[in-house]
Structure 1
């Protein structure tokens, strides 16, 4: 398989949006680990990416997993390689990067009286509840944990299912997902998940009880895995990206209008149902438009692409802890909202770059932040698929 540079650019862009999204979480009324005074309307622009960014990331991860499966030849080798690349930074993140988040949250919301070092040694490793929080925790790193579980399920299926079964499934996918079904079936599935299978359910990111998330993200992961060997489906994305983009914009306009009219999940029936359906339509339509546009316009390399692709995982590992610490530091200053937002973005970007550049330069730290143990000698060419 050749590397798909367009999906690399989508992945880079999606994680950049994720950083802005998590900065926005500090200001919206939704629950988050650290809060600053904000306004309800901040949720409106955030809903432009909320329905699709995670589905897109799981889809791109599934696409990359197909390339890695082909490279490793054996499912067990694929599982071993992915486990090392995912579990090591996950463990490092839980042990070193994440703990400041529950410490700030407990102090801000529940009056936790102790400093960070006391919290870390006496409370963080309690493997139980402290107030409303279960400690230790993985917080935003749930994505890495879920991706590892999906990887193991995929490797197990690849090892146990006969080749004829997997080949038939691949041909069926390529045949079905080449026309109108490319838009209709995933949207119908998301509506089914939200209204029939798990009505009113919310994601918990706790793995064992998060069936609504698994029903949304595992199919996206498998879709990406199948898409990697379905050129006809990829061509269908290119054909349909313009109508899909129009549909996504129309659905977002409806979502935004309902949120403006009834902010904070206060919409009466039947507007709550219309809101959820519009989010499902926006979500998959945006994914379709973005993949089609990326394949037709962005599938080319640029000088900064290898470094940015490599930096994405370290940025993801550290960004939320930087946001939470920075927000906690800004609270006593009582600055205007626009200044707080600008400072949070600047601090987060600067901190992420410092974390990445320092970690990549120190050999023993590289695996801890999700990088290969040894840097590639060919810095201008990166033939390996994206890992997260």
Structure 2
């Protein structure tokens, strides 16, 4: 299978958007682990440009990466074991070490928790219950890693069952033309609007069926896309149509947010149309981004390899940096634009330091999602940098 550098750049961009989105959560009225002293209603409008599709895109590119890893694995068992190790070890480390400061800041800033962090981490975080309505311990943003591992197991089970070789050809036939535009949109309208009315996710594995109905098919689509030049070509061919559909759908979503700002609620009929538009925007934007990346970004650069390797460590640490720095900035009285700039700089610098330091320490590499052994920069150019997500 040829490497598509456009998908690598899309993966990098998707995680960068996620980080900016979480920084934005500090300044909007929506619930988050820490809030600025004053929030701004209109910031929700640009954030809704990415909200309907950013997580679905992450699962799709993770499925795409899984196919590349499977091809280079000696067998399905080794693939499953490797993925399990490289997902569950960082997940356990993240829950135990990276996530607790987020919960402490949330309790201290929003619930009047008076204990210090050390007491909280050694005592209250491990209560296996609730504290002022917050479940502890928790995985917070690392739910994505847990879901990705579950989807990997489900994929391995599907691959272990004898199956006809025509499945990939069927995928090519179904999505190799205009079907790549309309079939996923139809699926989303049926299973995310009519069947479950999906507005928000719980990140609770058992009670999050609406999210699974959106994320797992996207993961499988990405896996199949890796082996389908025909579908990739169709995404390129129809990128302008999907871009126009995405912009039209966002005009509805953004217009509703502008008309009913903040936490105010529109009439039910407007909310119903918004849910339609969100699902249309979801797939149309993803399809347009893939087609555009394949057309204009399918080239290598010296920054691509370290960024592809770094996105997972970045993901692990970014929200803790955001929450802690935002909590530190709350009493500063500085303008919100200055606080936003500081958060962006601190998060980018902190993520890069976390990755660069961790990659040089052998025992730390598996804890932050990197392969055991020497740093990637020291490996041969013939050893491709394969992402874990």
Q: TM-score range by the shorter chain?
A: over 0.9
In structure 1, the partner of 2:206 is 208
1:286 and 2:285 aligned: yes
Provide the rounded CA distance (Å) in 1 between the counterparts of 2:69 and 2:342: 39
1:32 and 2:32 aligned: yes
In structure 1, the partner of 2:335 is 336
Provide the rounded CA distance (Å) in 1 between the counterparts of 2:301 and 2:77: 34
In structure 1, the partner of 2:13 is 13
Provide the rounded CA distance (Å) in 2 between the counterparts of 1:52 and 1:104: 28
1:172 and 2:170 aligned: yes
In the alignment, which of 210, 225, 228 is matched to residue 227 of structure 1?
Answer: 225
Q: CA deviation at 1:381?
A: 5.6
Provide the rounded CA distance (Å) in 2 between the counterparts of 1:28 and 1:385: 36
Whether contact under 8 Å (2:359, 2:365) holds in the other structure is yes
Q: CA deviation at 1:382?
A: 5.1
Output one character per residue of 1:50-98: Cα deviation in whole Å (capped at 9) or x when no partner: 1111111111111111122222242211110100111111111001000
Which blocks of at least 5 consecutive residues in structure 2 are unaligned?
none
Output one character per residue of 1:91-141: Cα deviation in whole Å (capped at 9) or x when no partner: 110010000011111111111110000001111111111121111111001
Provide the rounded CA distance (Å) in 2 between the counterparts of 1:322 and 1:364: 22
Whether contact under 8 Å (1:5, 1:298) holds in the other structure is yes
Which blocks of at least 5 consecutive residues in structure 1 are unaligned?
none
In structure 2, the partner of 1:241 is 239
Whether contact under 8 Å (2:309, 2:386) holds in the other structure is no
Provide the rounded CA distance (Å) in 2 between the counterparts of 1:149 and 1:39: 37
Whether contact under 8 Å (1:306, 1:380) holds in the other structure is no
Q: CA deviation at 1:163?
A: 3.5
Whether contact under 8 Å (1:306, 1:382) holds in the other structure is no
Alignment of 1:1-388 (within 5 A): 1-36=1-36, 37-159=38-160, 161-164=161-164, 167-199=165-197, 202-263=200-261, 264=263, 266-374=265-373, 375-376=375-376, 377-378=378-379, 380=381, 383-388=384-389
Whether contact under 8 Å (1:258, 1:275) holds in the other structure is yes
Distance 1:172 1:67, change over 3 A: same
SS in 2 for 1:129: strand
SS in 1 for 2:130: strand
Q: CA deviation at 1:199?
A: 2.0
SS in 2 for 1:352: helix
Whether contact under 8 Å (1:56, 1:220) holds in the other structure is yes
Provide the rounded CA distance (Å) in 2 between the counterparts of 1:31 and 1:109: 11
Q: CA deviation at 1:286?
A: 0.7
SS in 1 for 2:177: coil
Provide the rounded CA distance (Å) in 2 between the counterparts of 1:129 and 1:116: 17
**Alpha carbon RMSD of aligned pairs, Å?**
1.3
Provide the rounded CA distance (Å) in 2 between the counterparts of 1:56 and 1:325: 27
SS in 1 for 2:82: helix
Provide the rounded CA distance (Å) in 1 between the counterparts of 2:285 and 2:382: 30
Q: CA deviation at 1:334?
A: 1.6
TM (norm. structure 2) is 0.96
Provide the rounded CA distance (Å) in 1 between the counterparts of 2:159 and 2:382: 30
Whether contact under 8 Å (1:63, 1:224) holds in the other structure is yes
Moved over 3 A (4+): 376-382
Q: CA deviation at 1:296?
A: 1.4
Provide the rounded CA distance (Å) in 2 between the counterparts of 1:276 and 1:339: 34
Provide the rounded CA distance (Å) in 1 between the counterparts of 2:52 and 2:245: 14
Number of aligned pairs?
Answer: 385
